[in-house]
Structures are given as structure tokens and as C-alpha cells.
A and B are shown apart, each in its own frame.
Chain A
Amino acid sequence: MKTMLNKLLGLVGLVVLSFGVLADDWQQAASGLTGKSSNHKLAAIEAMLEFDDPRNAVALQGMLDAELYYVKADRQLVIATKSGRSFLLTDLQGESLGEVAKSKIKRITVNNRIRREIRSGLAMMALAGPDEDARFSAVRSLMANVEAEQLPLVEQRLVAETSAKVQDKLRELQAIILLENGDDAQRQSSAEFLGGRMDAPSRNALLRAQSDEQNAEVLAAINESVARNQQLLKLNRAAENLYFGLSLGAVLLLAAVGLAITFGVMGVINMAHGEMIMLGAYTTYVVQQLMPGHIELSLVVAIPAAFLVSGAMGVLIERGIIRFLYGRPLETLLATFGLSLVLQQLVRSIFGPLNQAVITPQWLSGSLEINGVLALTYNRLYIIIFSFMVVAALWLLISKTFFGLQVRAVTQNRAMANAMGIRSSWVDAMTFGLGSGVAGIAGVALSQLTNVGPNLGQNYIIDSFMVVVFGGVGNLFGTVVAAMTLGVANKLAEPFTGAVLAKILVLVFIILFIQKRPRGMFALKGRMVED
């Protein structure tokens, strides 16, 4: 009924507008949006928010999404979406206004100052809205800009609020306001309440209060809360650093684990390993191009696709080049290095020299908030989990399957394996294909973190060799430990030394370590090592 009425009203408004006779008060207020300067627009937004009008939400959201336009002829505000070469218009009540050419309308541009104003306006609206998460983030955005006048509103919401999570946040906001403006008892209880709260506004409010407080008793409570915060902060920061280290380690592990097979198990110095990673990343790009409507699923499809593409390329390389070079490491090195250049140029010729945009699916963006200080970014979190899954799968394959048995047999004693009826050349090709395929999978993961361009592989080849050599050639477990050690060491050093020096320190450390233990952390023992 209400929507019907709305529509009817909208229609009437439209008719009135199109005759150019009258505009309602809200439209009067919003007309400033079509002005040129940001001050006009800010004033218009403020005036619009005086009205409790459903068009506010549509207009503000439209501005944020860069979809709010005005018709040049009559300055009417419209939502415009691109369709082909023209734009589909709807008015702010959702009535369709047909299609027009781009030259007929003009977008209402916003800058950061306006965007901030819009967001706080939308937050105010969401405060009483039906969506719990929206209410929660609305309170948070109020916390970022605390004003004493908000107190009545906050207290009113506290009574009306049903969700415990939002209520807790509202109480925190209330405490921040009272800590500055309340009486002694209120300040004291606020100070106690804010102890252990990790959100920056709460911590800052306590620090501010610490320097302003006159009352000794309240000051004691503040001091205690500040000390508690400091301790928690330290703990959280340490946890955060550890997480950064683990995630860097996971990236190194993913990049190196394929090499741990081709170089570690087979002993092939494969300088084209990085390009296998790159092929995997480009496969992700192609998969996304092929299934444009299903970005969320694209990575799941890309994983096997990248494995097959890079794996097939690996088999091709092994059959075409490397098998003629076994036992001649220098030649292998040069041949694969040349091959890496060829592959880079190939990709450059097909896709062009520019980087390709690989879209990050929604479920990989953003972060998991533990508290106000500690937030784990989803992409890194998934990559840590993913890297361990890849290693586990590889380990199962090598140690528990018949194929794995053959691989181990051939690496340990080729002549004997041949005598037992194993086609060692076939096993070589498959093993190399496996290593390359795993590198391709790494490429899918890396496409979410870094640039997908022809040079992608080059950035990881040195790190990969570093990890494999440091961990001990031929040892999957060593590779895991080495990757994690290097990742964590790098990230622990970075806050003190800066990114440049941290990298250098890690390199120096590895050089020294290799001097002491040339075979890496976990050296293989036994006959095969001797030859």
C-alpha cells in the first residue's frame, strides 16, 4: 500500500517536474548537488538529511557508487546505469525513465570529503535499520568522530537495540563520550569499561583522559586501563607480526614446493620454474575471462586448469629438452634459463606487455577482525591454509601412492628401478610435470597477491631456490620449515630494519648458514647423496 502511494507520489512529482513548475522541499535541498564546488554539494547533503525521505538513501548510495547523474536539460537527479553505448535512467523512486545518450546527462562527482559525509549520513540512517552488521558498522563510524551531542541518540539506541553485539559497541561509544563529559562516577566506570578495548577511538580516548584528568581516584582507574591496553596491544601486535610472517612463509612455500620436486627430487636446475608459476597466473586470468559471470567460482576452476596447463608444459619441456641434458647441470641451467626468456616473450606476444587485471573474488577480500588491532586478511588466511593443503596432498602422493613409490624408486636407484620394470623415462616426465603443475597452482594463489605480468615468475625464482636449498635438497618437510622460518624471520626483522634491510639480512643469514651446513637444514643421508 505504502509503496503504491510512494509510486503514485513519485509519478505526480515526475509530472510536476517535467512541466518544470514546482519542486518539493527535498528537491530544493538536493538541487545543490548539481553545483560545481564540493562546498555546494556538502551543504546540499546536510540539507537533504534534514528530511526523513526515502530518496536520501538512494541518492547517497548512488553517489557512492558513481551512479547518480543529473539530466542536463532540467537538472533532475537520476540513477543511471550503463547499457551498451547509452545509459538506462531511473528516478530516485525507482521509476524507469528510459534510455538516453551519454551527452544528455552528467555524473555528480564526489571527493573524499563528500564521501566521508555521505558515509556518516548513511551510517546515521542504518543506525535504526534492520541489518545487524550495518548497525554495528554504523556505531563504529560514529566512534571515529565522537561528539558530545550524540549522547542522547546513543542512549536512545541503547534502549531500543536488541542485538548484544551492537549494544556492546553502543556502550563503548557511550563510555567514550562520558569519559570526557560525565561526572566523577561516570568517568570512573567509563575508564574501567574501556580497559581492554582495542579499538583506536577507545584507546585514544583513554590516553587523552590520562593527561586531562584531575580526580585522583578516576585517574587511577584510567591508568590501570591504559596499562592493561598497552599490554594487550603488545600481545596483539606480536600475534599480528607472526601472522604476517606465516603468510609470507606460505607464499614462499607455494612458490618453492614445485621446485622442491623438480630440483629437490629430480636434481634438475630448472630456471624456468618461475615461468610455470606465471603460466598458472595467466591461466587464472584466462579462466576469469571465459566465465565472466562467475568470478566467485573462477579460482576453484582455475586451480585444476592451472595444474594441467603448467603440468603439460612441464612434460613438454622434459620430453623436448631436459631429458637430453640429465647429468649436465650447467647445460640444463642455461637451457632452462633460455626457455624462461622464450616463455616470457611468448606471453608478452599473446597477452601484451601490460599487466593483466585478475579480479579478486568477494570472499577473498577484506579481513577477519579479531579485535580493533588484530585483523587477519582473508586472502592471506586462505593462502596459508591452501599452501598446507598443497603440501599435504603432495606428501600423500609421494609417500602413499604407487606413482610416488615409482618416483622414489627412480630417484634412489635408477638402474634397479629399470630392472624392476619401471619405465623410468615415463616417471621422469610425470614427476617433472607434477612439479610444474604445482608451480601452476602457486600461480593461481599469487595472482591474488601480486601483478599478473610477464615478469611475475622472475620475482619468485630466487626466493624459491633459496627456500629449497636452505631446507635441504630433496626434503619436502625441510622446504616447509625453511619457508616458514624465512617468512617469519623476514617479518620479525622488518619493523626494526625496514623492508630493504630485512631482505638483505635474510640473504646474509642464509649465506652464513650454507657455509656451516652446505646441505641445508634437513640433509638427506644415505647412498644416493654421495653420487
Chain B
Amino acid sequence: MTQQKQHSSRWSKQLAASAMALALTSGMSLAQAAETIKVGVLHSLSGTMAISETTLKDTVLMMVEEQNKAGGLLGKKLEPVVVDPASDWPLFAEKARELLEKEQVDVIFGCWTSVSRKSVLPVVEELNGLLFYPVQYEGEESSKNVFYTGAAPNQQAIPAVDYLMGEEGVERWVLAGTDYVYPRTTNKILEAYLKTAGVADEDIMISYTPFGHSDWQTIVSDIKKFGEAGKKTAVVSTINGDANVPFYKELANQGIAAEDIPVVAFSVGEEELSGFDTAPLVGHLAAWNYFQSADSELNEEFIGAWQSFIGSEERVTNDPMEATYIGFKMWAEAVEKAGSVEVDSVRDAMYGITVPNLTGGYAVMNTNHHLTKPVLIGEIQADGQFDVVWQTAGGVIGDAWTDHLPESANLVADWTAPISCGNFNITTSQCSGQNY
């Protein structure tokens, strides 16, 4: 019964939509309709992820607006098509299909969580779409139809651990994360990495918590006990979004200061901190490829443009925004280079394209669909911003398949001939073809 109802409502929606489309095209000349290049935006505007993803939708809209002001692309205007997958993972696939089949978009910017990307993956591969994914993630993937402009684990997690080992002399590690695929995989990689660096089993503690966990007493007290052993201890946190506020509050209340046990986080950026009273967090760390405090002219321009686009001087910028910016600029350049928006020619034009980072230097798109970009470590300040305390000497090449896990150590991704494959096994010279 309910299913029928749903069916009929979807039917009527479709009917209404096609009627509207008819009305639109009859009112507009057909030639003009073909004059625009359609840019799909697939970010959640409602539900739990809306907090983070709405910002990225606005970033894409800002980039489109700027591009149009500069004359569009190939003499055509860009037209954004925004859909709302509502933080609902299966709906991401449906909406991606809608964008590609019905709206016929030429490119999609979208997704945040790994599970949403995994759900979109089969759709973009089947329909040969083009997806730009702007968020740091666990790696172990390279799809022909996706460009990953966020950090792979070797562009965030591993440099962060290196920093703590080198600069702070950390010998004991707590890997704390929310219980889902990104933290689990990242921690697996980190554990393997730490062990090869000579850290003993008893010096690693791993703990997982549910989404939105708010009672951190036991875990923080465990961390405190773990840190009392006399060796310098640090926490590597893959705790997601909301759960961070009560976690840091509990740390402060139980008297754990950043000088004693620093926490380095991979999911805490400027935007997350804007909901914090950051005074007790000063000194805790985050590893990203971008901080708003980065000192460069380009960055100042970007922040200015963003704040005037959104109409508030309070709004902050963050790393996934920079990744969106780089992805969009690269795509626009590739389209110009290819002289067409056709997916296969744009993809070929993407390789080796460079775009200036907002933090200085250039980002390069590699043939494994990941970027080369610098890694920065920042310390939280009382004003909710980060002070950059360390950064890699040059760019770090994004590694699709980590070398620190046995199952992916001999996999490489290279989408140019003669390999043309996202998961080429260098010992068997086979492609498994499996990304999901």
C-alpha cells in the first residue's frame, strides 16, 4: 500500500517535472538551452551532514558565479543544478542518476562522507559521469570517473604522525575514532605505519565510539591513565563532527592540557570550531592541506570573495572548500584545454594540470586521480583559528592505495595508457577492476 502510494507520488512528480520542462523549453529557444554548461552540485542541504555540506554547495555556486563573470567557458555560460540528497546514502545514487540522465550535467561536484561516495560510484561509472570529490578520505580507491581533490591518508594522517614523533617526541599513541569506514581504515593504516616505525603493541591504544557520542568520561579517563606511563603520549583523533565538542570539553575538565597529551584531529577545521568555545583547546592540533590563517595573497582574495558572496564577515573558510576550489579551477582549465565538456576528453586534459594552492605553491593532478599538494599542521588558537606550526617542504603526492597495508601495498592507480586502471597489481600485473 505505502509502496504504491510512493510510486504514484513519484509518478505524479515526474509528470509535473516533465510538464514543467516542456513549458520551459517551449518558452526558451532550443539553441539557447544548449549554450549553457551544466554543473551538478550533489551536497546534502538537510539532515546531519547539512552542517558541513551546505558550505560546499555555496562554494561551488560562488565559483560558478565568478567563472560566469569572467565570461564562462568555451563562450558558454555555466548553469548550476543543485539537488539535495538529504544525508541519505542511497538517495545520493538516485540524485546522481537524476543529474546525469535527466539534467544531463557535464560535471558533478559533491559528496562528503565515504559511504555517500561509494553509493554514487557505480552510477557515475555506468553513465560515464565526472565527479569531483573534495573531502579528505581513507584512500584505497581510484575510479576512472572520480577526481579526488581532498587528502589521501599519506597527505594528512601520516605527516601528522611524523610531526608528533619528530617535533613532540611522542612514543605512545591513542587512536580514537568514530565507528565507521574512514576512521577504521585510517587507524588500520596508522597502526601498521607506527609498528613499522618501531612502536610496540602496548604503546598503541585504539578506541571507537558511536556517531554523536557525548559521554566521554570513561574514554578520556582511559587516555589519562594510558598517558601516565611516563612516555610522551598523543591522541590521533578521527572523531567525526559533532562528537568533538564534548570530547574536547571533557579533556579540558579532566585537566589534560595540549602540552601534556596533544590531540591531533583530521576532521576538525575552522567551521567545526566555530561552534566551540576554543579557550580550553588551545594547543591541540589539526592536520590539513589548508588553513584559513595561511599567509598568501590568493588566500586573502578567496576569503574576501567568500565572505562577500555569503554576506557575512564571520564566516570561515576550510580545507574542503579549498579542495572544491582547486577541483573547480582544474576542471575549468581542462575544459578549455580539451575544447569540449565531453567527459573522456576532459579527463585526458586533467592529467598534469596545475592550479595555485590557496596556501602557496601549485597543486598538480596526477594520473591516479589524486593531487600533489602540501600538508600543514596547525595549532588551535583562542580565536578559533589555527596557527600553522609546521608544513611539508614541498607537495606530497596523493597515494590512492596505501603502502602500509598488505592488501594494497602492491596496487597502483594510473589512468593513462598503457595501464589505464585504478587498481593495477604490480606483482601479478592484473587489474581487479574493483573499487567498491
Contact = CB atoms under 8 A, between A and B. Distances in A.
Interface of A: 38, 65-66, 109, 111-113, 115-116, 119, 144, 200, 203-204, 208, 240-241, 244, 247-248, 251, 353-360, 365-367, 375, 377-380, 449-453, 455, 459, 491, 494-495, 498-500, 503
B379 interface: yes
B218 A494 contact: yes
Interface residues of B, number: 50
Given A112-B259, A353-B50, A366-B253, A248 B275 contact: no
B275 A451 contact: yes
Given A353-B51, A500-B209, A451 B255 contact: no
A372 to B, nearest CB: 9
A499 B259 contact: no
Nearest to B220: A377
Given A357-B276, A357-B277, A453-B275, A248 B215 contact: yes
B381 to A, nearest CB: 6
B258 A200 contact: no
Contact of A354 (B253, B262, B275): B275
Nearest to B53: A353
A375 B254 contact: yes
Q: Sort A-B residue pairs by CB-CB distance and give the 7 closest, nearest first.
A: A355-B275, A200-B228, A377-B253, A450-B214, A244-B217, A116-B259, A111-B389
6 contacts: A111-B379, A113-B167, A119-B259, A378-B253, A451-B275, A455-B242
Contact of B280 (A38, A365, A459): A365
Contact of B255 (A111, A359, A367, A491): A367
A375 B224 CA distance: 11
Given A360-B249, A375-B255, 9 more contacts: A112-B259, A116-B259, A241-B218, A357-B277, A377-B253, A451-B245, A491-B217, A499-B210, A500-B210
Contacts of A449: 214, 246, 249
Contact of A355 (B51, B179, B282, B382): B51
B348 interface: no
A359 B389 contact: no
Nearest to A344: B46
Contacts of A450: 214, 245-246
Nearest to B278: A357
Given A360-B277, A377-B254, A115 B283 contact: yes
Contacts of B253: 365-367, 377-380
B48 A455 contact: yes
B25 interface: no
B355 interface: no
B83 interface: no
Given A453-B242, A494-B218, A112 B210 contact: no
B250 to A, nearest CB: 7
Nearest to B246: A450
Contacts of A455: 48, 212, 242
Contacts of B258: 112, 115
A244 B215 CA distance: 9
Nearest to B258: A112
A51 to B, nearest CB: 24
Interface string B272-316: 001111001011010000000000000000000000000000000
Nearest to A366: B253
A333 B199 CA distance: 54
Given A112-B262, A204-B228, A495 B214 contact: no
B259 A355 contact: no
B221 A240 contact: yes
A78 B318 CA distance: 31
A109 B283 CA distance: 11
Contacts of A356: 275
Given A365-B252, A366-B255, A500-B179, A204 B230 contact: yes
B387 interface: yes
B89 to A, nearest CB: 18
A283 to B, nearest CB: 17
Contacts of A379: 249, 253
Contacts of B230: 204, 208
Q: Name the residue among A353, A375, A453 with the largest chain B CB count within 10 angstroms.
A: A353
B245 A355 contact: yes
A393 B386 CA distance: 46
A449 B274 CA distance: 17
Given A204-B229, A204-B230, A380 B277 contact: no
A66 B382 contact: yes
Interface string B345-385: 00000000000000000000000000000000001011000
Interface in B79-127: none
A459 B217 contact: no
Contacts of B342: none
A526 B222 CA distance: 48
A495 B222 contact: yes
B275 A111 contact: no
A489 to B, nearest CB: 13
